[in-house]
Copies of this chain bind each other. A is one copy, B any other.
Amino acid sequence: MKSPIPDATVARLPLYLRCLSELRSPDEHCSSDDLAAAAGVNSAQVRKDFSYLGSYGTRGVGYGIDDLAAQLRKVLGLDTKNPVMIIGAGNLGSALANYKGIDTWGFDIVSIVDIDEAKIGEEVDGLTVESIDNIATIVAARSIDIGVIAVPARAAQDVADRFVDAGITSILNFAPTVIHAPVGVTIRRVDIAVSLGILAYHKAEEERRA
């Protein structure tokens, strides 16, 4: 039941991949020290993370840049992307859809829907905003299994229910509220302001001490 690669490690893989492409040096290898410096993490962390993927480095030499990048892409599933639907074509939904361009995560946003008639038909990063009423059809037709909620808090539970009815089993909730779903459906909640809040808290704490 336990995932073979810890979440904290999964979260760092795209960062490594980005750093690798920037780090491309004349020689074909890089050390965990190089990568750690570029990514801003500890070098033991880097080696530990890579050990979960299997071993791909050479002692005394380092990691083959191309090999490593290929391995990271494979683990992240950048070849066989997960089709994702976003509900909510507002700023947050659009920001997420545009993030698709980054392409260092193994998913693919294939549909963005909204309840607002005015938004339906608009273009968001190459996708046409569709009506929320069609989600069951769209989900089935495009084999979508991950849904993203990017609507205001008051609409979140209703949207989640629609996702569940449509057969979605993994939901990411960006609305600042707790939503409920039947067992068998995985829900993750994300508060985009949480890091800002923690930063502000530390700042205030620092001043209190001074």
Contact of A106 among B82, B172, B178, B204 (CB under 8 A): B204
A210 at the interface (CB under 8 A from B): no
If A91-B91, A92-B95, A96-B193 touch, does A199 touch B178 (CB 8 Å cutoff)? no
Pair A14/B191 contact, Cβ less than 8 Å? yes
| Complex: A178 Cα to B169 Cα, angstroms | 33
A145 at the interface (CB under 8 A from B): yes
Provide a sorted-by-A list of 17 A–B residue pairs whose CB atoms are within 8 angstroms: A3-B202, A11-B197, A11-B198, A14-B191, A18-B176, A38-B178, A76-B197, A82-B204, A91-B92, A91-B98, A99-B193, A102-B153, A146-B199, A146-B200, A169-B203, A170-B203, A172-B199
- Interface residues as binary, A162-195 with B (CB distance below 8 Å gives 1, 0 otherwise): 0000000110100011100000001011111111
| Complex: A194 Cα to B169 Cα, angstroms | 18
Q: Which residue of B lies closest to A82 (CB)?
A: B200
Pair B96/A94 contact, Cβ less than 8 Å? no
If A90-B95, A197-B14 touch, does A204 touch B77 (CB 8 Å cutoff)? yes
Instruction: Please count how many residues in chain A sit with their CB below 8 Å of the partner chain's CB atoms.
Output: 59
Pair B3/A203 contact, Cβ less than 8 Å? no
Pair A195/B172 contact, Cβ less than 8 Å? yes
If A91-B94, A91-B95, A95-B95 touch, does A196 touch B172 (CB 8 Å cutoff)? yes
- Interface residues as binary, A65-108 with B (CB distance below 8 Å gives 1, 0 otherwise): 00000000000110000101000001110111011001011110
Pair B178/A188 contact, Cβ less than 8 Å? no
Chain B hits for A27, CB < 8 A: none
Pair B95/A192 contact, Cβ less than 8 Å? yes
